[in-house]
Amino acid sequence: MNILNFTESENDGSLTVAPGKLPALANVPHPFPYQGSKRALAHAVLRFLPSDTGALVEPFAGSAAISIASRYAHMTSQVVMCDINEPLMAMWQRIIDDPTGLADEYEAMWNESLDDPKGFFLKKRLEFNETLNPAILLYLLNRIVKGAVRYAKNGAFNQSADNRRLGAKPVTVRDRLARTSKVMQGTTVHSGSYESLLIEASEVDVVYMDPPYQGVTNVADHRYMAGLARDDFERALRKANANGVSYIVSYDAVRPDNKYGEALSADLELTHLHLLAGRSAQSTLSGGTEVTVESLYLSPALVQRLGSVKSLVA
């Protein structure tokens, strides 16, 4: 894999890198819209998978963009994914095992929605909250703006529909599901919290983590299903360090003025990369020129396996 098209500069002990696109990821499938998908970041993250990587473990999977990319680019032979959102993981299991049946159900719902898309969405949202049916979740994710899931305090899915759109056409969804399923055969799917998968990962595995953003997680989090307390997360990372686990963390989108996010604790001895990820959508909308910077942290065990990160980015 070509890892040379990085540019690098020093910045307060962290490295600022602007990874180029990996040709191996052209046409990588994505199964459904999901807020916070790391599709764009996959071009950077895959560069930090050692050639002897066993399983890629993704405990905050969501739409699992990094796992899909790693399988698509033949960087891993095995993926283990997990998310605290149980219906989401049930939907993932169906994508892998039964993409055709799931696509059939989506098509039936999409066709039925045409007479009254607004009313149909509300009816299906109610039905989902009663049944947690994964096929209905797929329909809801395709109808809401940018896959931005929202949950009420009682755990009910309460996001509204984007009433200007009907959701992706059935033929498109069928293709997305079929292609994703093919790439992800053999994946192990769990639902639950991330800790055990992280702490008990074997030394050949690499754990990629994209926890919910810091800014919205110290208080009640209505984005995603659960927030994450930073102290708890750092405690789990310490245990993973003690076990010699190789891991990569995406934590916060920070801007050059550091307006968002505080770095993860220095005692974790992580290698901190700032990835230049291009203009943010919000900045572009408001006519700004700022570049979005994404933080990526590499664990000491991973850096040791890689040799040195500087040699990768030089």
Ligand X SMILES: C[S@@+](CC[C@H](N)C(=O)[O-])C[C@H]1O[C@@H](n2cnc3c(N)ncnc32)[C@H](O)[C@@H]1O
Q: What does the binding site for ligand X look like in residue numbers (CB under 6 A)?
A: 34, 36-38, 59-60, 62-65, 83-85, 193-194, 210-212, 224-226, 228
DSSP state at residue 223:
B
Q: How far is 77 from 69, CA to CA, in rounded Å?
A: 12
> Least distance in Å: CB of 207 to ligand X?
12
> Least distance in Å: CB of 83 to ligand X?
5
> Least distance in Å: CB of 9 to ligand X?
26
> Is residue 44 packed enough to be buried (19+ CB in 10 Å), middle (13-18) or exposed (0-12)?
buried
DSSP state at residue 84:
S
Residue 174, helix vs strand vs coil: helix
Pick from 280, 311, 275, 314: which is nearest to 296 by CA?
Answer: 275
DSSP state at residue 264:
P
> Least distance in Å: CB of 210 to ligand X?
4
Closer of 153 and 164 to ligand X (Cβ): 153
Residue 158 has, within 13 A of its CA and on its CB side, a CA count of 9
Closer of 34 and 106 to ligand X (Cβ): 34
> Least distance in Å: CB of 13 to ligand X?
26
Answer yes or no: are the C-beta atoms of 290 and 231 closer than 8 Å.
no
Closer of 228 and 303 to ligand X (Cβ): 228
Closer of 48 and 224 to ligand X (Cβ): 224
DSSP lists the bridge partners of residue 81 as: 58, 189
Closer of 103 and 228 to ligand X (Cβ): 228
* Helix or strand (DSSP H, E) at 44: helix 42-45
Residues 6+ apart with CB under 8 A from 175: none
> Least distance in Å: CB of 61 to ligand X?
6
Closer of 122 and 281 to ligand X (Cβ): 281
Closer of 106 and 224 to ligand X (Cβ): 224
Residue nearest to ligand X (CB): 62
Q: How far is 54 from 75, CA to CA, in rounded Å?
A: 9
> Least distance in Å: CB of 262 to ligand X?
17
First to last CA, the chain: 15
